Amino acid sequence: DYTDELLKIDRFHVGQFAYLVERMAGVEEADGSTLLDNTIFTYGSGLGDGATHQYSDLPIIVAGSGGGKLATGSHLACPDGTPLANLWLTQAQAVGLPRNRFADSAATLEELQKS
């Protein structure tokens, strides 16, 4: 059983993500926004449970709004069966890539897009 070791590794990685988010939030851009405001910084896994290799209930964190294109400050619980590729498509469109599909995407995540 390697649970304790895995928890240490997970805590380290999440700590590094938080550290970088804080640093980016502290870098002011010329227009008064921050580096984090103008970034999409994603951390997570393609597996919800590595032991069983299931790919639902994925632990994903998205920080930054991509220059105001993404809504922030919320928790999304996507319906069962929502492809992870929907997130990647949403982010690609937010940074200006003219894509209508990515991998097995079915749509963009409207609740993540700023209206």
Per-residue model confidence as pLDDT tens digits over 72-99: 999 999 998 899 999 999 999 999 999 9
pTM of the model: 0.88
**Through-space distance between the first and last CA atoms of the chain, rounded to whole angstroms:** 47
What are the tens digits of pLDDT across the range 29-43? 999 999 999 999 999
Hey, CA dihedral for 12, 34, 111, 93, is it positive or negative?
negative
